[in-house]
Amino acid sequence: QGGNNAGHTVVVDGKEYDFHLFPSGIINPKAISFIGNGVVIHLPGLFEEAEKNEKKGLKDWEKRLIISDRAHLVFDFHQAVDGLQEVQRQAQEGKNIGTTKKGIGPTYSSKAARTGLRICDLLSDFDEFSSRFKNLAQQYKSMFPTLEIDIEGQLKKLKGYAEKIRPMVRDGVYFMYEALHGSPKKILVEGANAALLDIDFGTYPFVTSSNCTVGGVCTGLGVPPQHVGDVYGVVKAYTTRVGIGAFPTEQINEIGDLLQSRGHEWGVTTGRKRRCGWLDLVILKYAHMINGFTALALTKLDILDVLDEIKIGVAYKLGGKRIPYFP
């Protein structure tokens, strides 16, 4: 699920890579990387990411990458609309959501409205794809009169991308079925964003537009629930958040600044400073209620090394009473 709104920094042998659409396993020459149907893909972004990481030494990625034919496409106008919607929210409500302006929300909106276009549409009849693309563009133009879309220019580029990705595209459901039932393999599923950004379970409306909890494995790949084995929760030794939204343990002081600078807490996609605070165990327990972690990967403990005292959020009060749930 998700798209190039999420960023994962991966350091291998002293080299730092930034991944957004690529699965982190793309660096491993022995691994096959697969982008599932739940992901929304901005093709210019995918190739830009490839180019940046090639310069850092990533080789032959196109031989190891497979893309689901059912994944939805993010168009440039989705990204433009994302920015316009944020401006609108700011003007109307005095606050925005703090999206990455990568077109993720508008693309999932198109998907839910059944006007979206998928990889399989791009690779079949291009004339039909073009007319559906024009209809979708027209819909957005009528909603946002200031929106400018170079329809012919974008279609020409998309036709080029179609040929570049054609060899990588497969029927994702069949691909996963064979992976699960063929010769024994280790399968690691990587999600984008965190539990508190889940469209259903996060701090709505300051969330992303997809299910980034464990259910995304089933819906985003077509994997039956009984095949989900261990579930690893990745959590920092302190809490961070990019963009606005509730954050009870946030430290808007020298502690917050220290965590931010020592932890290099910048959004990989946006370059925004991450908001930092003490570890919130209420949130962590809540994430566990939903995901059922079999293990936790605790990161960045060393960032706390310089502190004499470390605080941890242990409970929430509502109306003066302790509550056992995340409100």
Spatial CA neighbour of 301 closest among 233, 255, 257, 237: 237
Of 161, 186, 211, which residue constitutes the final position of a domain? 186
Residue 239 lies in a domain: yes
Catalytic pick from 55, 101, 102, 111?
111
Identify the CATH number of the domain in which residue 67 sits. 1.10.300.10
Residue type (1 letter), 269: T
Q: Are residues 272 and 147 in the same domain?
A: no
Cα gap 26→31, rounded to integer Å = 7
**C-alpha torsion sign, points 276, 277, 278, 282:** negative
Q: Are residues 137 and 241 in the same domain?
A: no
Residue 31 lies in a domain: yes
Residue 38 lies in a domain: yes
Q: Are residues 79 and 153 in the same domain?
A: yes
* 3-state class (DSSP) for residue 13: coil
Q: Name residues whose C-beta falls within 8 Å of residue 308's C-beta, 6 or more positions apart in sequence.
A: none
CB crowding 154-191: b at 16 or more within 10 Å, else e: bbeebeebbeebeebbbebbebbeebeeeeeeeeebeb
**pLDDT averages per 10-residue partition of the chain, 327 residues:** 88 90 95 98 96 93 97 97 89 82 94 98 98 97 94 97 98 97 95 93 94 96 96 96 90 97 86 93 97 96 97 96 94
Residue 30 lies in a domain: yes
First-residue to last-residue Cα distance in the chain = 25
Q: H or E element: which one contains 250?
A: none
Q: What is the pLDDT of residue 6?
A: 82
Cβ 43 vs Cβ 65: under 8 Å: no
* 3-state class (DSSP) for residue 298: strand
Q: Are residues 178 and 240 in the same domain?
A: no
Q: What is the pLDDT of residue 245?
A: 87
Residue 216 lies in a domain: no
Residue 91 lies in a domain: yes
Q: What is the pLDDT of residue 243?
A: 80
Cα gap 73→176, rounded to integer Å = 21
**Can you give the three-state secondary structure of 174-243, one letter per residue?**
HHHHHHHHCCCCCCCCCCCCCHHHCCCCCCCCCCCCCCCCCHHHHHHHCCCHHHCCCCEEEEECEEEECC
Identify the CATH number of the domain in which residue 290 sits. 3.90.170.10
Q: Are residues 241 and 92 in the same domain?
A: no
Of 158, 186, 214, which residue constitutes the final position of a domain? 186
Q: Are residues 45 and 152 in the same domain?
A: yes
Q: Are residues 158 and 9 in the same domain?
A: yes
Q: H or E element: which one contains 297?
A: strand 295-299
Spatial CA neighbour of 269 closest among 299, 242, 239: 242
Cα gap 121→117, rounded to integer Å = 6
Identify the domain containing residue 60 by its residue range: 1-186
Q: What is the pLDDT of residue 19?
A: 93
| Chain segment 274-313, per-residue pLDDT in tens | 999 999 999 999 999 999 999 999 999 999 999 999 999 9
Q: Are residues 151 and 237 in the same domain?
A: no
Cβ 60 vs Cβ 44: under 8 Å: no
Q: What is the pLDDT of residue 224?
A: 97
Q: What is the pTM of this model?
A: 0.92
| Chain segment 57-85, per-residue pLDDT in tens | 999 999 999 999 999 999 999 999 999 99
Q: Are residues 162 and 59 in the same domain?
A: yes
Q: What is the pLDDT of residue 7?
A: 83
Residue 200 lies in a domain: no
Of 155, 186, 217, which residue constitutes the final position of a domain? 186
Q: What is the pLDDT of residue 144?
A: 93
Structurally, the chain folds into a number of domains equal to: 2
Vertex 127, ends 83 and 134: CA angle to 5°? Answer: 30
Q: What is the pLDDT of residue 152?
A: 97
Cα gap 316→252, rounded to integer Å = 19
Residue 214 lies in a domain: no
Respond yes or no: is residue 321 known to be catalytic: no
Token pair 């291998």 in the structure block, residue: 12
